[in-house]
Structure 1
Amino acid sequence: MKIENKTWPIFLAVVFISLLTLGCNNQQPQKVVLTMSAASSLTNVLEDIKEIYTEENQDIDLVFNFGSSGVLQQQIEQGAPIDLYLSAAADQMDKLEQKGLIDEQSRITLLSNEIVLIGAKDSYIEDFTDLTNSKVSKLAIAVPESVPAGKYARESLMNLGIWESVQNKIIYAKDVRQVLAYVERGEVEAGIVYQTDANVSDKVKIIMSADPTSYSPILYPLAIIKGTTNQKAAEDVIAFLAGEEAKKIFKQHGFLDVGK
Structure 2
Amino acid sequence: MRHLLTLFLLLIVISGCGTNEAKQTTLTVAAASSLSDAMKELSAKYEEEHPDTDITLNLASSGVLANQIKQGAPIDVFLSASEDHFTELVKDDLIEPELHTNLLSNKLVLITNEPTSVTGWDDLLSNSIGRIAIGTPETVPAGAYAKEALESMKMIDKLHDQLIFGKDVRQVLTYVETGNADAGIVYKTDYLTSNKVSLVAEAPLDTYSSITYPAGVVEDGREEAQSFFTFLQSEQAMTIFKKYGFQGKK
**Are residues 1:146 and 2:139 paired?**
yes
Task: Find the residue that maps to 2:98 and give its secondary structure.
Answer: helix
**Residue 29 (structure 1) shift:** 7.3
Aligned residue in 2 for 1:158: 151
**Are residues 1:179 and 2:172 paired?**
yes
Aligned residue in 2 for 1:9: none
For 1:48 and 1:55, how far apart are their aligned partners in 2?
11
User: Counterparts of 1:57-68 in structure 2 under 5 Å?
Assistant: 57-68=50-61
User: Counterparts of 1:27-42 in structure 2 under 5 Å?
Assistant: 30-42=23-35
Q: Larger C-alpha radius of gyration, 1 or 2?
A: 2
Residues 177-235 of structure 1: CA deviation (Å, up to 9, x unaligned): 0000000000110000000000001100111111111100000001111112x12x111
Aligned residue in 2 for 1:19: none
Contact 2:82/2:212 (8 A) holds in 1: yes
| Over 6 Å off, 4+ runs | none
Aligned residue in 2 for 1:78: 71
Aligned residues: 230
**Residue 173 (structure 1) shift:** 0.8
Aligned residue in 2 for 1:250: 241
For 1:252 and 1:235, how far apart are their aligned partners in 2?
24
**Residue 54 (structure 1) shift:** 1.0
Residues 124-164 of structure 1: CA deviation (Å, up to 9, x unaligned): 11111111112211000000011100000011111111111
User: Counterparts of 1:69-148 in structure 2 under 5 Å?
Assistant: 69-148=62-141
> What TM-score do you get using the length of structure 2 for normalisation?
0.90
Contact 2:22/2:52 (8 A) holds in 1: no
- Percent sequence identity is 40
Aligned residue in 2 for 1:236: 227
**Residue 121 (structure 1) shift:** 2.9
For 2:189 and 2:247, how far apart are their aligned partners in 1?
10
**Residue 118 (structure 1) shift:** 0.4
For 1:136 and 1:78, how far apart are their aligned partners in 2?
41
For 1:74 and 1:226, how far apart are their aligned partners in 2?
14
Contact 2:177/2:196 (8 A) holds in 1: yes
For 2:44 and 2:166, how far apart are their aligned partners in 1?
30
Aligned residue in 1 for 2:189: 196
**Residue 73 (structure 1) shift:** 0.6
Q: Which runs of 5+ in 1 are unaligned?
A: 1-27
CA RMSD of aligned residues (A): 1.2
Residues 91-110 of structure 1: CA deviation (Å, up to 9, x unaligned): 11111112111112101111
Give the letter for the 1:244 counterpart.
Answer: E
Of the three residues 48, 53, 71, the one matched with 1:55 is 48
For 1:127 and 1:29, how far apart are their aligned partners in 2?
56
For 1:142 and 1:172, how far apart are their aligned partners in 2?
5
> What TM-score do you get using the length of structure 1 for normalisation?
0.86
**Residue 165 (structure 1) shift:** 1.1
For 2:42 and 2:77, how far apart are their aligned partners in 1?
15
